Structure 1
Amino acid sequence: MFSKACEYGIRASICIAKNSYEGKRISLKDISEGINSPQAFTAKILQALVKHKVIKSVKGAYGGFEIDKRDISQIRLSQIVKAIDGDKIYVGCGLGLEECDENHPCPVHDKFKSIRNDLENMLVHTNLEELALNLKKGNAFLKIKDQKQ
């Protein structure tokens, strides 16, 4: 459903949120290694997230990526998806057809519309705090690498 860039963007955002809760900034290198994504590709994804004010980039010797702890609970997965993939996931055809709407539906239009609506609801109502804390507590698993001590 999501593009590869969007999948990596969600993983990276969770990784950054988890580290931010621990008072740490995390480097591009550590993020890309932790989410198993090429560094140049990760940099472009993080650039989009910074541009859309999902995450912050701090330059310098002690720089890296972070999210203000007060903002983590306000950031929704829908913001990450929109920053990277736009809104095509909410309006696109389930079969990838250019022409698919209520008046000219594809064979899976009605069934996919329901799935799309459920997905949008989940993305709008899921925040980074929930996901980062589930990781921190060990209630969820995501292959991420914490920043080196």
Structure 2
Amino acid sequence: MFSKACEYGIKASIFIAINSFEGKRVSPKEIALEIDSPQAFTAKILQALVKHNIVNSVKGAHGGFEMDKNKIANVKLSHIVNAIDGDSIYKGCGLGLHTCNEAHPCPVHEKFKTIRDELKHMLEHTSLEELALDIKSGTSFLKV
């Protein structure tokens, strides 16, 4: 459903949020290791997250990536998805057809529309803070 870049972007954002709660910055190398992503690919994803003001990049010897603790609760998964994949997830056809719409629907159009609407609602109402706290508490995990 999400592109690989978007999956990595979500994981990286959660990892950065967890560390930011503890006042730590994390390097691209640490992030890539934690989310099992190639380091060069992770760097490109992090650039997009910085460009969209989701994470902050600090240069220098004690640099790395961080988030403002007060901002973490306001960052929704939809912000990350938009930064990496745009809004195509809300518009795409369930069967991958190029011309699927209300006037010319594919066989699963109505059923998939419901799923897309539920996904959009979940992404718009799930914060990084919620996910980061679940991981910190041990309720969920990022890496096996």
- Alignment partner of 2:65: what SS? strand
Which ranges of structure 2 fall in alignment gaps of 5 or more residues? none
Kindly report which structure 2 residues correspond to 1:1-149, keeping only aligned pairs within 5 A, or say none.
1-143=1-143
Which ranges of structure 1 fall in alignment gaps of 5 or more residues? 145-149
- Alignment partner of 1:62: what SS? coil
TM-score by length of 1: 0.95
Q: Deviation of residue 78 (structure 1)?
A: 0.1
- Alignment partner of 1:65: what SS? strand
* 1:82-110 CA-partner distances (Å, limit 9, x unpaired): 00000000011111111000000011111
- Alignment partner of 2:93: what SS? coil
List structure 1 segments (4+ residues) > 3 angstroms apart after TM superposition. Answer: none
Q: Tell me, in whole angstroms, the C-alpha distance in 2 between the residues paired with 1:135 and 1:15.
A: 9
Q: Tell me, in whole angstroms, the C-alpha distance in 1 between the residues paired with 2:96 and 2:46.
A: 27
- Alignment partner of 1:61: what SS? coil
- Alignment partner of 1:102: what SS? coil
Q: Deviation of residue 142 (structure 1)?
A: 1.1
* 1:84-141 CA-partner distances (Å, limit 9, x unpaired): 0000000111111110000000111111000000000000000000000110011111
Aligned-residue CA RMSD (Å): 0.8
Percent identity over paired residues? 69
Number of residue pairs matched? 144
Q: Tell me, in whole angstroms, the C-alpha distance in 2 between the residues paired with 1:80 and 1:13.
A: 8
AA matched with 1:2: F
- Alignment partner of 1:69: what SS? coil
- Alignment partner of 2:5: what SS? helix
